[in-house]
């Protein structure tokens, strides 16, 4: 249960940090801005990446559009599809969030001895891979590690 508790604590901490920025964001909103900035422009793609429903993503996207952080445009090649892009304000908010979260991560990692950081990184990659595999299984309790390699450091 330590992993569940640590994950919940980090999510709350990240949410608090993002909420205190000049452009206040929730953790979910920041993830959406990051994913759109990485080229994931359709709501279906965002829903699949986040293991969410399209209506859930649509609700979050609508809030970001109203706040002027995302643009929504019809795909000229497929008029039934809506494509998302960051506005200048959305890009600034995403970048401010990235900087703030990196500062939190750097501060937290100072609690881990230098000689243990590589092992921690490798262990987190293994956990990420196992969780990714679990999303792809009908019964997530039986998944094994292997797919969805995380390459961020």
What digits encode the pLDDT tens for the residues 78-137?
988 899 999 999 999 999 999 999 999 999 999 999 999 999 999 999 999 988 888 777
Virtual torsion, Cα 47, 38, 151, 16, nearest 10 deg: -70
Domain identity same for 62 and 30: yes
Domain identity same for 74 and 96: yes
- pTM confidence score: 0.83
Query: What DSSP designation does 72 have?
Result: E
Domain identity same for 103 and 128: no
Residue 2 lies in a domain: no
Q: How far is CA 147 from CA 32, 73, 93, 132, in A?
A: 22, 33, 31, 7
What is the number of domains present in the chain? 2
Residue 98 lies in a domain: yes
Contacts of 34 (CB under 8 A, 6+ apart): 94, 97, 98
Q: Which domain holds residue 81?
A: 11-111
Domain identity same for 84 and 99: yes
What rounded mean pLDDT belongs to the chain? Answer: 90
Mean pLDDT of 46-72: 94
């Amino acid at each position: 249960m330590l992993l569940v508790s640590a994950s919940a604590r980090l999510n709350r901490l990240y949410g608090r940090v993002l909420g205190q920025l000049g452009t206040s964001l929730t953790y979910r909103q920041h993830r959406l801005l990051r994913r759109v900035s990485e080229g994931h422009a359709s709501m279906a793609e965002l829903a699949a990446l986040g293991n969410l429903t399209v209506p859930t993503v649509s609700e979050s996207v609508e809030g970001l559009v109203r706040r002027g952080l995302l643009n929504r445009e019809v795909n000229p090649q497929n008029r039934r599809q809506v494509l998302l892009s960051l506005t200048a304000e959305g890009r600034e908010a995403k970048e401010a969030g990235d900087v703030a979260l990196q500062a939190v991560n750097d501060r937290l990692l100072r609690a881990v001895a230098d000689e243990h950081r590589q092992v921690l990184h490798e262990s987190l990659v293994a956990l990420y891979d196992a969780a990714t595999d679990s999303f792809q299984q009908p019964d997530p309790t039986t998944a094994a590690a292997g797919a969805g390699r995380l390459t961020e450091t």
